[in-house]
Homo-oligomer: A and B are copies of this chain.
Amino acid sequence: MLSEFELIARHFARSPQAEAHGVVLGVGDDCALLAPSAGCQLAVSVDTSVAEVHFPADAPPVAIGHRALAVALSDLAAMGATPRWCLLALTLPEVDDAWLGEFAAGFHALCAETGVSLVGGDVTRGGLAVSVTVHGEVPGGAALPRNAARPGELLAVTGSLGGAHAGLKAWQAGERNLAQPLLASYLLPRPRLNAGLALRGLASAAIDLSDGLLPDLGHLCEASGVGAELDAAALPLADGLVAALGEEGARQAALAGGDDYELLVSLPPAALDEARTRLAAEGLALTVIGRCSATPGVRGAAASAGWQHFPRGEA
């Protein structure tokens, strides 16, 4: 009596975690039952990825599965939360076993890598879309909100910027090799979970870079009631970015390209060395790109040079 879609849902019932943390009851009942850790707060977020809006419909399914989970996990990273559990709501126009096998492989591989257990979800018929709910845990008071940046603090970003935008351009130009670094930046982003954990107790505020540096910096400043002096010359550009897009294109991609899923943090100057040491242990750079100010608004080379918004939301 099971429908095609119920049968497919069973494809996701195999949890990749041998010893799943806090899972009392996993996939298969009306609800999952979870045992939260004593003394921890629960960090929860949902992200929907829609075909032709957030990713190309003909992207490799392994990348679609990876990416949909990665962008959701990035919100946990920005909170400094330890990832625990996720739910997958998958909407499909048709049932294609090969496609689903690849999609599930990408999704499950990132679950295993990040210690996340898939504990529930549903599969429905409709336009291709993937909605992922993630749950993380963070000791009470240790989370990194976006509203706690203070004037005088440094603004810094993990890793490098602009790669995902160049990767999207490369995809549009016909590049299909997922091993190509810029394309991988776009289709296989790495959520900065370990960086978020390492920055707990050092950073005051954090946000992940999904919309692009300038819009997301705007969100952080607005939430914190501060302004920012940006040093656009200091932006860490992705390897190969200038070669791919030229000097000006690279700068614009780093400022506004979006989809990089690096972390932007505000931290006291005295915390910078320790933060860099901790991130270096993760193989990740932390680059100072400006400073918080008491004057509202984002200023600096970026603004004075006339920032142009890249059209986003088209893949």
Contact = CB atoms under 8 A, between A and B. Distances in A.
A42 B136 CA distance: 13
Interface string A33-61: 11110100111111110110110000000
A272 interface: no
Given A32-B45, A34-B44, A44-B119, A25 B145 contact: yes
Interface string A212-237: 00110010000100000000000000
Interface stretch (A73-81, A155-163, A179-187, A284-292): A73-81
Contact of A145 (B29, B35, B145, B146): B29
A174 B147 CA distance: 50
A131 interface: yes
Interface residues of A, number: 64
A79 B25 CA distance: 11
- The CB with the most chain B CB atoms within 10 A, among A47, A48, A122, A223, is that of A48
Interface in A190-242: 206-208, 214-215, 218, 223
30 contacts: A1-B214, A1-B309, A29-B79, A29-B145, A29-B146, A30-B76, A31-B43, A31-B44, A31-B76, A31-B136, A31-B143, A33-B42, A33-B138, A33-B143, A35-B140, A36-B42, A38-B38, A44-B87, A45-B120, A46-B122, A46-B131, A46-B133, A48-B91, A48-B122, A48-B124, A48-B126, A87-B133, A125-B313, A126-B129, A133-B133
